Amino acid sequence: MANSTITLSRAQVRRVWLRAQKLDSHAPFGNGPQATPAAVQHLGYVQIDTINVIERCHHHILYTRIPEYQREHLRQAQTIDKAVFEYWGHALAYFATADFRFHVRDMRSYTPRAHPWLKGTSDQEVRAMAARIRRNGALTIRDIEEEVVEKTHAWASRKPSKRVLQIAFNKGLLTISERAGSALISGGWPSPPPASVAAAYSWATASTVSITSKYRPSPKPSFAPAGVDWASSSR
């Protein structure tokens, strides 16, 4: 067999990396609002980070590739066009809605057992929260009036509903539709939902993969079919 090894110099490897990251040309995705979802789609995901020196990390990532990038462009992609959505990669990140189907299995198999600060929440509480948002529309944790409790974990909240919202988010029952300062605002997919979400619903329902979650595929899961908003929550 012929030797198939390809040897690259450091300079060549650097050029390959810069090309893959789209950092070797001016405005590779164009400018204007549509450049933002195009960048997220190409990169695979953009991590949402709390690091904030000049600006939040995810805005830096987009600005370095979109010279005329504005924060409002990301809001439009997430809240208005529904071209990107938030979920977990190795950390919380923006993903292209076209790739939604790749996350359905993780959503369906999620269990709070791995996160001690999320224990003690019943399935009934999670379903009730999803129903409330579907019925009444957008909300943040600030909109929920309840008696506060002592934190049981550094990442916990004094409001018990925060735990419910986070579990529903992790299971794909709810999503984040808008960020306004430190508040995460709930909303929903339009009716009918984007084609990629509807396709993911069909794929997940037909899948024979073993589901460990109590929320098994059903004819009308709350996050996917037309006519039902994919509501969101605060984290």
Check residue 80 and report its DSSP letter: I
pLDDT at residue 118 in the model: 82
Give, as one character, the DSSP assignment of residue 79.
Answer: I
Tell me how far the alpha carbon of residue 73 is from its chain's centroid. 17
Q: Give tens-digit pLDDT for 143-201.
A: 888 888 888 777 777 888 888 988 989 988 888 888 876 556 654 444 455 565 555 54
For the chain, the first-to-last Cα distance in angstroms comes to 55
Q: What predicted TM-score, i.e. pTM, was given to this entire model?
A: 0.77
Q: What is the DSSP letter of 78?
A: I
Q: Where are the domains of the chain?
A: 10-81, 103-206
Residue 87 φ then ψ, to 5°: -165, 180
Q: What angle do CA 204, 179, 70 make, to 5 degrees?
A: 105
Take residue 7 and report the two structure tokens written for it: 């040897």
CATH fold for domain 103-206: Arc Repressor Mutant, subunit A (1.10.10)
Is 188:78 a contact under the CB 8 Å cutoff?
no
Query: Sign of the CA dihedral 47, 49, 53, 55?
Result: positive
Q: Give me the pLDDT at residue 175, please.
A: 86
- Work out the pLDDT band at 203, boundaries 50, 70, 90: very low
| Interatomic CA distance for residues 82 and 97, integer angstroms | 7
Per-residue DSSP letters for 177-207? Answer: -EEETTEEE-----SSPPHHHHHHHHHHHH-
pLDDT band at 208 (very low <50, low <70, confident <90, very high): very low
